[in-house]
Amino acid sequence: MSNAMKLCVSLDLSSAEENLELVKQIKDFDVWLKVGFRTYIRDGKSFLEKIKAINPNFKIFLDLKLYDIPNTMADAAQEIANFGLVDMFNVHASSGVEAMSTVMNRIKDIPNKPLVLAVTALTSFDNDAFKAIYNEDIKTKARQFAIDTYNSGVDVVVCSAYESFDIKNNTSKEFITLCPGIRPFGEDSGDQKRVADIAFAKKNLVDFIVVGRPIYKSSNPKNVVEEILKNI
């Protein structure tokens, strides 16, 4: 993977038709597409096929955040990898080293296997809400989750832009970070707490930025994508 920051566009609209219309508008750009829980439950594997039909070079990030016992997670990971459509999918780092290692071992021999990401702390958490559940500050726990992720052989860690630099310092500068909650040019944060703009993400060595609402709620999504790509 090149060192240039990559843009991942969230397909979070309320129907497959709206999402596919957005995909058509940005089909000529070198971007990744994130397919989340609601979209996948509603539209299924055929939706992934429709994306590839629009542009077979699109990279798909299937954002299902697998979290279960190790064998069940590995079974699901194997099915996703065998689709031959998904370029990246995620698990929860809090599932533990055994679960993450089991997932990685299960898919290691699958041709063109997807990248695997592990989620540290959701960007909807502020520190108080996170601490109420995990009994530690976000920065401390996210760092430990990231170290566990790295030691499990997982490819990418999901964190906010605020943790990216610290995580790389405590694992490897080459360890890939993907950061949701990006408001490229300081747009409204909505329900996200730990948001950042492009400049902050670049300063903190983020590899992937995930952008949703600033793109799909725009009257001209194509122009917004173009402007983001100019700035990364």
Task: Give the burial class of 26: count Cβ atoms within 10 A of its Cβ; 0-12 exposed, 13-18 middle, 19 or more buried.
Answer: buried
User: Which residues, other chains included, contact 161 with Cβ-Cβ below 8 Å and sequence gap of 6+?
Assistant: 179, 181, 182, 194, 196, 200, 201, 204, 206, 209
**pLDDT tens string 185-218:** 776 666 666 678 999 999 999 999 999 999 999 9
Return the pLDDT at 193. Answer: 63
Q: Which amino acid is at 123?
A: T
**pLDDT tens string 122-156:** 878 889 999 999 999 988 999 999 999 999 999 99
Residues designated as active site: 65
| Average pLDDT rounded to a whole number, residues 4-24 | 97
Q: Does the pLDDT value for residue 170 go beyond 80? A: yes
Return the pLDDT at 192. Answer: 61
Q: Which residue has the tokens 């780092």?
A: 93
pLDDT range class, residue 2, cuts 50, 70, 90:
low
Domains, the chain: 6-231 (3.20.20.70)
Phi first, then psi, for residue 217 (nearest 5°) are -95, 0
Q: pTM to 2 decimals?
A: 0.93
**pLDDT tens string 69-119:** 999 999 999 999 999 999 999 999 999 999 999 999 999 999 999 999 999
- Spatial contact of 118 and 93, defined as CB atoms under 8 Å apart: yes
Q: Which amino acid is at 104?
A: M
Q: Does the pLDDT value for residue 121 go beyond 90? A: no
Return the pLDDT at 122. Answer: 81
- What single string gives the DSSP state of each residue in the chain? --SS-EEEEE---SSHHHHHHHHHHTTTS--EEEEEHHHHHHHHHHHHHHHHHH-TT-EEEEEEEE-S-HHHHHHHHHHHHHHS--SEEEEEGGG-HHHHHHHHHHHTTSTTPPEEEEE-S-TT--HHHHHHHHSS-HHHHHHHHHHHHHHTT-SEEE--HHHHHHHHHHS-TTSEEEE--B-TTS---TT-SS-B-HHHHHHTT-SEEEE-HHHHTSS-HHHHHHHHHHH-
Quote the mean pLDDT of the chain: 94
Q: Which residue has the higher pLDDT, 122 or 41?
A: 41
